């Protein structure tokens, strides 16, 4: 009986990160800088007016100058996004557990979940905004509708694809339904759930923005999407880009945060969280 040859040893690190990680950070960064540089150069060289295409420097200046307004809008949008993600996660998890407990429940309600997913939120957002008095609540509902499906569908697949032998083992030892759920099905579904969560994180931001656009067209909102609309009306194109940049950054940040959560929860056991080279 020899010890496994993939036992973790001391690894070489550069600035706290394993050497293999650096290209993954640096390569996109270099491309990004080149792109921004090229953009700035082109805007200056061809003397493009700022109301058509502002350069990155102008956008950055606007971002700093308008930060008081923009940061307020960012907070509004992020609040809706995070709330929608939380509600989508809780509701999605609960629904998929319900589905996994009874084939009948799944057969009956899954089509409606799918229907909710495939209907474009832009099309139903005006209705929701009319029906729900509270504008925050209606934005939340729109974002939630977009965000909850990946959690439901992924977690349901995860709960249903539990190792059959392990299920037999639990049956052999007379495990209750609850024990089987908590000790076997939920942990086994965890990688699926986390993959769904990462998609839902991005979608809840998209849902929040779309809902704000619809609501903002009626003048009743203060999030980043509303700033974009407003800037468009006022031909404040640099501010439009600044708001857009904030949205993109938020999206990337949400994705990274959820990836980190996923990595931390799976790193000890799941293939997806393991580095390939040994």
Partner 1 sequence: MTGRPGSAETAGVQEDGTIAASGHTAPSREDSTGPAPVVALRGVTKRYGNGTLAVQGLDLDITTGSFVSLLGPSGCGKSTVLRMVAGLSPLTAGGIAWPRAAGRPPKLGFVFQEPTLMPWKTAIDNVALPLRLEGVAKAERHRRAREMLDLVGLSDFANSYPRELSGGMRMRVSIARALVTEPEVLLLDEPFAALDEITRFRLNNDLLRLWESRRFTAVFVTHSVFESVYLSQRVVVMAANPGRLHADLPIAAPARRDEAFRTSPDYAALCRTVSEALERAMKA
Residue 81 CB, nearest distance to partner 1 (Å)?
A: 30
Residue 29 or 264: the one with the smaller Cβ distance to partner 1 is: 264
In this complex, which beta carbon is closest to partner 1, that of residue 64 or of residue 172? 172
Closer residue to partner 1 (CB): 44 or 171: 171
| Measured CA distances, 97 to 82, 152, 166, 174, 201 (Å) | 22, 9, 18, 21, 20
For partner 1, the closer CB: 27 or 163: 163
Q: What one-character DSSP code corresponds to residue 183? A: I
**Minimum gap (Å) between residue 261 Cβ and partner 1:** 16
List of residues contacting partner 1 (CB under 8 A): 1-4, 6-7, 163, 165-166, 168-175, 179, 183-184, 187-188, 190, 268-271, 274
Q: What's 3's DSSP letter?
A: P
Q: For 201-223, b where at least 16 C-beta lie within 10 A, e where not — what string?
A: bbbbbbbbbbbbbbbbeeeebbb
Q: Are 220 and 62 in contact (CB under 8 A)?
A: no
Of 144 and 170, CB closest to partner 1: 170
What secondary structure letter does DSSP report for 272? Answer: G
The three-state secondary structure class of 261 is helix
Residue 17: phi and psi, rounded to 5, are -120, 145
**267 vs 278: CA distance, rounded Å:** 15
- State in angstroms the smallest separation of the CB of 176 from partner 1: 8
CB of 144 to partner 1, least distance (A): 29
> For residues 110 and 188, which CB has a smaller minimum distance to partner 1 in the complex?
188
Question: Quick count: other Cβ atoms within 10 Å of Cβ 161?
Answer: 12
Report, in Å, the least distance between residue 258 CB and partner 1. 19
Q: At closest approach, how far in Å is the CB of 229 from partner 1?
A: 47
* Count of alpha carbons within 13 angstroms of residue 176, beta-carbon side: 3
């Amino acid at each position: 009986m020899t010890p496994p040859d993939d036992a973790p040893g001391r690894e070489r690190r550069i600035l706290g990160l394993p050497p293999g990680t650096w290209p993954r950070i640096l390569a996109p960064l270099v491309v990004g800088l080149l792109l921004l540089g090229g953009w700035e150069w082109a805007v200056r060289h061809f003397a493009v007016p700022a109301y058509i295409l502002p350069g990155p420097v102008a956008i950055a200046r606007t971002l700093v100058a308008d930060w008081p307004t923009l940061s307020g809008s960012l907070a509004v949008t992020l609040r809706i996004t995070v709330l929608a993600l939380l509600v989508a996660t809780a509701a999605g998890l609960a629904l998929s557990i319900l589905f996994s407990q009874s084939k009948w429940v799944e057969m009956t309600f899954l089509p409606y979940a799918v229907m909710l997913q495939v209907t474009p939120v832009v099309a139903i957002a005006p209705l929701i905004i009319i029906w729900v008095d509270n504008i925050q609540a209606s934005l939340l509902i729109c974002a939630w509708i977009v965000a909850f499906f990946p959690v439901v569908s992924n977690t349901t697949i995860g709960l249903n694809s539990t190792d059959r032998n392990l299920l037999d083992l639990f049956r052999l030892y007379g495990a209750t339904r609850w024990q089987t759920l908590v000790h076997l099905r939920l942990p086994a579904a965890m990688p699926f759930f986390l993959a769904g969560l990462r998609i839902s994180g991005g979608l809840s931001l998209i849902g929040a923005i779309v809902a704000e656009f619809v609501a903002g067209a009626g003048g009743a909102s203060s999030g980043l999407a509303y700033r974009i609309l407003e800037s468009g009306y006022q031909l404040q194109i640099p501010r439009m880009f600044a708001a857009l940049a904030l949205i993109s950054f938020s999206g990337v940040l949400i994705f990274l945060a959820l990836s980190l959560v996923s990595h931390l929860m799976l790193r000890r056991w799941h293939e997806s969280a393991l580095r390939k080279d040994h």
